[in-house]
């Protein structure tokens, strides 16, 4: 579904104080596109997603989704739009702690009135899609961050919405897990044709996007492709994948060497002075690799 924002304005009023979060924003996302939105904190990214997702209404301007202007919908119609058309993914996973992975995926379906037997079947299919069928009966605190985010993505897909909106979905994940989540978004787009908007600081995500828009102070100031981003100095596409993969291999190798060193030390095979010296060397190499991996971050 295509998404068009025209001259979007959002003013928050708290008491007498007004905050202009969006000030005449234009954005066009094609059907079947992945669009990354980058920009500094407070620039209006979350506000924009909330308005596109029908969680909030703009103060002025239009949001046209698949030809329908959301600002003309009644509150009830907007709720309907949000439940059926949009899947949300958040930074902090937003799972219900005392429900299992499967129950979390079933929840949006239960709210939409899907019968129990159908819910079970679809929840299992979705968990399989995100590679977690063997974790169906685990609760969120028994899952890793990456697994929790995959469950959250499965839950966002529960009612088969054509649009996925994700707000810093890899903000809490390490680089390796972030890349797995990025690949999952790519798969949802490629195989299921979802239109996806992802607010992100993470270059691994930005480079799976078809286009990257930068928002500053409530307006989109630039839109580029990953290749154009590469031209201005950020490595993109396969090259970036390759680069990060090599760095991660290096990180794993260092970590393994550190483990072996510790084992040797515990077994009395090396003296403590040698251990401390070598360990410090490895630790500083590890820090450098981590730094370099982090440098592939946009803002």
Exposed/middle/buried for residue 18 (C-beta within 10 Å: 0-12, 13-18, 19+): exposed
Comparing CB distances to Mg ion, the nearer of 46 and 175 is 46
CA 7, CA 28: separation in Å to the nearest integer? 11
Which of Mg ion, ligand ADP, none does residue 211 bind (CB under 5 to 8 Å by kind)?
Answer: none
Q: Which residue is nearest to Mg ion (CB)?
A: 46
Distance of CA 297 to the CA centre of its chain: 14
43 binds, among ligand ADP, Mg ion, none (CB under 5 to 8 A by kind): ligand ADP
Task: Please say which residue, 86 or 293, places its beta carbon nearer to ligand ADP.
Answer: 86
Q: Quick one: what does residue 170 bind among Mg ion, ligand ADP, none, with the CB cut-off 5 to 8 Å set by partner type? A: none
Q: Which helix (H) or strand (E) holds 22?
A: strand 17-29
Q: Which of the ranges 46-54, 146-154, 230-238, 239-247 carries the binding residues for Mg ion, by CB under 5 A? A: 46-54
CB of 219 to Mg ion, least distance (A): 16
Q: Which residues bind ligand ADP (CB under 6 A)?
A: 12, 14, 19, 21, 39, 41-47
For 224, the enclosing helix (H) or strand (E) is: strand 219-224
Q: Which is nearer to ligand ADP, 154 or 206 (CB)?
A: 206
CB of 299 to ligand ADP, least distance (A): 10
Q: Of the two residues 14 and 272, which places its CB atom closer to ligand ADP in the complex?
A: 14
First to last CA, the chain: 29
| DSSP letter for each residue of 41-88 | TTSSHHHHHHHHTTSS--SEEEEEETTEEGGGS-HHHHHHHHHHHEEE
Token digits of residue 286: 């590890």
Among the listed residues 1, 25, 43, 46, the single contact to Mg ion using CB under 5 A: 46
Q: Which of 162, 168, 189, 214 is nearest to 38 (CA)?
A: 214
From Mg ion, ligand ADP, none, interface partner of 19 (C-beta below 5 to 8 A by class): ligand ADP
DSSP secondary structure, 122-152, as one string: HHHHHHHHTT-GGGTT--GGGS-HHHHHHHH
**In terms of Cα–Cα distance, which of 133, 201, 192 is closest to 168?**
201
- Minimum Å distance from CB 47 to ligand ADP? 3
**Of 14 and 41, CB closest to Mg ion:** 41
| Count of residues interacting with Mg ion (CB under 5 A) | 2
Cβ-based nearer residue to ligand ADP, 44 or 146: 44
Shortest Cβ distance from residue 43 to ligand ADP (Å)? Answer: 4
How does strand 219-224 pair with strand 60-65? unpaired
Q: Please report whether residue 47 would count as binding Mg ion according to CB under 5 A.
A: no
Positions touching Mg ion (CB under 5 A) are: 45-46
């Amino acid at each position: 579904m295509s998404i068009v924002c025209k001259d979007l304005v959002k003013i928050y009023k708290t008491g007498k104080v007004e905050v202009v979060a969006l000030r005449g924003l234009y954005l066009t996302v094609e059907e079947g596109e992945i669009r990354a939105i980058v920009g500094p904190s407070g620039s209006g990214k979350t506000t924009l997603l909330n308005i596109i997702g029908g969680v909030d209404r703009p103060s002025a301007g239009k949001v046209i989704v698949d030809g329908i202007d959301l600002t003309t919908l009644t509150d009830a119609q907007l709720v309907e739009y949000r439940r059926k058309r949009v899947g949300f993914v958040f930074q902090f996973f937003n799972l219900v702690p005392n429900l299992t992975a499967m129950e979390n995926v079933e929840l949006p379906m239960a709210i939409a009135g899907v019968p129990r037997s159908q819910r079970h079947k679809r929840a299992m299919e979705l968990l399989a899609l995100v590679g977690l069928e063997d974790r169906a009966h685990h609760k969120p605190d028994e899952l890793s961050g990456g697994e929790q985010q995959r469950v959250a993505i499965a839950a966002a897909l529960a009612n088969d919405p054509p649009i996925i909106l994700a707000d810093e979905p890899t903000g809490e994940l390490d680089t390796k897990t972030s890349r797995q989540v990025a690949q999952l978004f790519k798969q949802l787009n490629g195989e299921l044709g979802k239109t996806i908007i992802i607010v992100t600081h993470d270059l691994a995500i930005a480079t799976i996007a078809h286009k990257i828009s930068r928002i500053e102070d409530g307006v989109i100031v630039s839109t580029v492709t990953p290749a154009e981003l590469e031209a201005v100095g950020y490595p993109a596409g396969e090259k970036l994948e390759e680069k990060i993969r090599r760095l991660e291999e290096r990180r794993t190798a260092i970590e393994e060497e550190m483990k072996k060193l510790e084992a040797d030390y515990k077994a009395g095979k090396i003296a403590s002075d040698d251990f401390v010296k070598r360990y410090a060397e490895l630790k500083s190499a590890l820090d450098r690799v981590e730094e370099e991996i982090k440098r592939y971050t946009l803002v």
